[in-house]
Chains A and B, each alone.
Chain A
Amino acid sequence: MKPNNTRYNLMELMVCVAARQLEDGKTAVIGTGMPLSAAMLAQKTAAPGLVILFEAGGVAPILQRLPISVADSNTQTGGLLHTSMDIIFEACQRGTVDYTFLGGAQIDMYGNINSSMIGTDYDHPKVRLPGSGGANDLASLCWKTLIITPHDKRRFIKKLDFLTSPGYLTGPGARERAGLPAGGGPYKVISTLALMGYDPETKRMRVESLHPGVTKEVVIENTGFEMLFVDSLPETPEPTDHELKILREEVDPLGLVIGKSGQ
């Protein structure tokens, strides 16, 4: 699963691929870690007009350093607005936020996410995880949800231990039937192996491109549910030297995110 070169590691690959999914001139509420590295990279490359909002209240900052917290001073430098959490989620609720970019411990074929617990008994979890944070609100309310996560069978799982934040729930129409706003939902998943989207008919996760050196079989072996694939499967374009330079020198010079193993 190692990329077949020494030019970049898996974290760098994921962040570069993720950054390309964000369109210029749009709004996005971003979570810490890999999602934020991707958004910062996007802003410094193809999407300089991407407006980044933080759930704690920072709006459109000049991002100089990778924030550790979605509330810390680095989310506020040079901002256009310093506001509060209710205001940010309300902006999402009335339909003004295009993207949200999240992580998660487990994801299923409909893009539902677990960030609450590992185990089968809620009262006695094997591992207690943080919970929704803002993820449920964002996945419910933003137009397009992107997920970035390493790819293995423990994470890409048939049945979540806990459904924290909504993807397409149980399939087509399920979000709307539950009462969630129409038209939103999962958009892309960026993993260590592939870039995935969703089949428009079944709302199931579907590989759109394989990362360099990765085969269909490797994806199947590392996925706990039946993964779909587009018919003619392209290779994900590699990170460019320019993307890697910006990522290493400007976005994450301390290696807070790209210095991790990716597993």
Chain B
Amino acid sequence: MNEQAPIVSPQGELFTSPDVEEARSFFMQKPRTMTNKLMSVSEAVGRFIHDGDYIASGGFGGVRIASAVLHEMVRQRKKNLGLSGHTATHDFQILAAGRCFNRCDVAYIVGLELRGLSPNARRYVESGAVKMTEWSNGTLAWRYKAAAMGVPFLPASVLLGTDTIKYSAAKTVECPFTGRTLLAVPALFPDVGIIHVHRADIYGNCQIDGISIADYDVGRCSKRVIISTEHLVDTDEIRKEPIKTLLPFWLADAVCHVPYGSYPGNMPYEYFSDEDHLAEWMEAEKDPGIFEKFIDKYIYGVKDFSEYLELKGGEARIAELREIEPLRRGDYRAAIKAGGSK
């Protein structure tokens, strides 16, 4: 069909090994016992995230992100991390503020969707401090999936013919059945996956409500998994609706109970994003001096995430964000009744 497809030799660096044997050996020794993994965010970050590790941040940039864990990574001054930039928006902004990473697989970075580009994240990557390899949201999702499947690559029909493939670390392969040229996306096994969920028990069984983005696979491809949760529940709660379970306990290494742990991000069904505070970040970032003080105040200068929440108005502010959360308001139900959409 496409005999003339060029052989592509991408020039991007592959930051992680797609070697399945190595990953299998690691997963073989990972404990399967149902033990209590409840710990503070500070302990989880201290024990499971090491300088130089490669990190996958769950959620979608400003939606269901593990903000408390990200702040703690900055506070503990984690350095030289690798980062999967799979729609990394506010999470990217936080880790860029701490200058925590020096290499990044890029699908979507620096921007915050409709909110514009982050001045500090731009300065950080434009300074040359971060080695970058280009991908797309689809290829990064499939890289997680390949790893979760335990295969070294998955074929796909994207990136072909563009500069994105040129600066990626993908390869092209010929389909053994049809002769077509396909993209081979290499499995991505992060050292640590961090995922914020709606409810978890102390063992790491956890559930989310709403879209799961790439977290089903992030939880399976990551060697170590830190779960932060809005609600800490009994295992019986999980068993009531197992269709909602994202991960069973043996995939998790740490469970941290952090109510409002996605703030200022949006936690579907719980609270909406704090757009005022996100705008405050963007504004502060315009001036490096002001931004330094801003980060001192909100991250380095506080003991933990709950102190940061207090600075931002605590329960009262959260109550307002709960009030405007669309999936709590339920006014879309009126639209359904009115036959507002097919």
| Interfacial residues, chain A to chain B (CB-CB below 8 A) | 32-33, 43, 48-49, 54-58, 61-65, 68-78, 82-86, 89, 93, 112, 116, 122-125, 127-137, 140-141, 160, 162-166, 169, 174-182, 256-257
In this complex, the interface size class of chain B, counting residues with CB under 8 Å from chain A, is 35 or more
Among B110, B125, B162, B167, chain A packs the most CB atoms within 10 A around the CB of B162
Residue pairs across A and B with CB atoms within 8 Å: the count is 238
Chain A residues closer than 8 Å to B89, beta-carbon distance? 69
Minimum CB–CB distance from A183 to chain B (whole Å) comes to 12
Whether a CB of chain A sits under 8 angstroms from the CB of B238 is no
Within residues 314 to 339 of chain B, which ones have a CB less than 8 A from any CB in chain A? 325-327, 331-333, 335-336
Alpha-carbon separation in the docked complex, A24 to B296 (Å): 52
A73 lies within 8 A of B137 (CB): no
13 contacts between A and B (CB under 8 A): A43-B341, A56-B60, A85-B141, A93-B157, A116-B134, A131-B134, A133-B107, A134-B108, A163-B164, A166-B161, A177-B5, A180-B158, A257-B114
B137 lies within 8 A of A85 (CB): yes
A89 lies within 8 A of B138 (CB): yes
Alpha-carbon separation in the docked complex, A128 to B125 (Å): 7
Minimum CB–CB distance from A78 to chain B (whole Å) comes to 4
Chain A residues closer than 8 Å to B215, beta-carbon distance? 84
- Cβ contact of B273, chosen from A68, A77, A135, cutoff 8 A: A68
Alpha-carbon separation in the docked complex, A260 to B237 (Å): 47
- Cβ contact of A49, chosen from B59, B214, B216, B342, cutoff 8 A: B342
Chain A residues closer than 8 Å to B183, beta-carbon distance? 179
| Interfacial residues, chain B to chain A (CB-CB below 8 A) | 1-2, 4-6, 59-64, 85, 87, 89, 106-111, 113-115, 117, 122, 125-126, 128, 134-139, 141-142, 145, 156-164, 167, 172, 180-183, 210-217, 266, 268-269, 272-273, 275, 325-327, 331-333, 335-336, 340-342
Listed from nearest, the 8 A-B pairs whose CB atoms lie closest are A178-B161, A137-B138, A57-B211, A179-B181, A71-B60, A130-B111, A133-B108, A132-B136
